[in-house]
């Protein structure tokens, strides 16, 4: 079993650089959520993620990486940060999707990375099961 992993893409996260000034936590899942014009989906997807992780007792963080969406995704993210605080971290990146994921990984504190989209096509309720199967 990989000590560090990325669910969905399964790359060894051991090859990732340490986040600046911090070492990676063990058994922590960093959910990378790239957004472009996802203002309407974001509150629900974040709520579902928080529910799914907290009910299963899994250590996690959510990193929202927005590309300067013109629909006000950033404003919604700021409101969500007030509710969820340090569980939620916001990163901005002005490039395409691939580099957005890399940017998120560079700032992830977890030793496992979960990549998903904010379309609600990947339902957070399945993540604990993925994790169990992976172990
Ligand atoms: N930060 C960032 N997120 C993006 C970018 N392109 C897509 N996304 C997000 O990445 C996830 C997957 O995107 P896609 O489903 O491929 O594209 P989409 O923008 O949702 O468009 P459609 O699903 O085709 O309508 C979604 O949460 C998007 O909001 C980008 O350039 N930057
Ligand atoms: Mg989409």
Give CA–CA dist 106/130, Å, rounded: 23
Please say whether the dihedral angle defined by the alpha carbons of residues 71, 73, 79 and 80, taken in this order, is positive or negative: positive
pLDDT at 2: 37
**Ligand 1 site-directed mutation target among 102, 117, 123, most atoms within 8 Å of CB:** 117
Q: What is the pLDDT along the chain (135 residues), one digit of tens a residue?
A: 334 555 554 344 544 555 555 556 679 999 999 999 999 999 999 999 999 999 999 999 999 999 889 999 999 999 999 999 988 888 887 778 888 999 999 999 999 999 999 999 989 999 999 999 988
Domains of the chain, earliest start first: 2-13+28-134 (3.90.550.10)
Closest CA relative to residue 73, chosen from 36, 100, 124, 44? 36
Whether 111 lines ligand 1, by a CB cut-off of 6 Å, is: no
What's the pLDDT at 110? 96
Contact at 8 Å (CB) between 61 and 32? no
Ligand 1 atom nearest 93 alpha carbon: 1
Looking at the whole model, is its pTM more than 0.75?
Answer: yes
CA-proximal residue: ligand 1, atom 12 (nearest)? 117
């Amino acid at each position: 079993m990989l000590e560090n992993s990325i669910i969905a893409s399964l790359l060894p996260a051991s090859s990732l650089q340490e986040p600046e000034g911090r070492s990676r936590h063990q058994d922590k899942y960093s959910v990378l959520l790239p957004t472009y014009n996802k203002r309407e989906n974001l509150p629900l997807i974040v709520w579902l993620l928080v529910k799914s992780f907290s009910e299963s007792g899994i250590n996690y963080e959510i990193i929202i990486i927005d590309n300067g969406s013109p629909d006000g995704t950033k404003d919604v993210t700021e409101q969500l940060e007030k509710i969820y605080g340090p569980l939620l971290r916001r990163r901005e990146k002005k490039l395409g999707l691939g580099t957005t994921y890399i940017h998120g990984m560079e700032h992830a504190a977890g030793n496992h990375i979960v990549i998903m989209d904010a379309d609600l096509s990947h339902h957070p309720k399945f993540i604990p099961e993925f994790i169990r199967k992976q172990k």
